[in-house]
Amino acid sequence: MASVLLAVFVNGKFCKDPNMVSADDFFFPGLNKPGNTSNAQGSKVTPVNVNQLPGLNTLGISLVRIDYAPCGLNPPHTHPRATEVLVVVEGTLFVGFVTSNPADPNVKNKLFTKTLYPGDVFVFPEGLIHFQFNVGKTDAFVFAGLSSQNPGVITIANAVFGSDPPITLDVLTKAFQVDANVINALQAPFK
> Binding site, residues?
74, 77, 79, 84, 130
Structural contact between residues 77 and 154, judged by C-beta atoms closer than 8 angstroms: yes
Structural contact between residues 166 and 187, judged by C-beta atoms closer than 8 angstroms: yes
Task: Give Dmax (Cα) for the chain.
Answer: 69
Any long-range contacts for 20-25 (C-beta under 8 Å, 24+ apart)?
21/55, 25/53, 25/54, 25/55
- Whether the CA torsion 51, 57, 60, 64 is positive or negative: it is negative
Task: Mark the binding-site residues for Mn(2+), compressed into ranges.
Answer: 77, 79, 84, 130
Task: Mark the binding-site residues for oxalate, compressed into ranges.
Answer: 74, 79, 84
Core vs surface per residue 9-42: b (16+ CB within 10 A) or e: eeeebeeeeeeeeeeeeeeeeeeeeebebeeebb
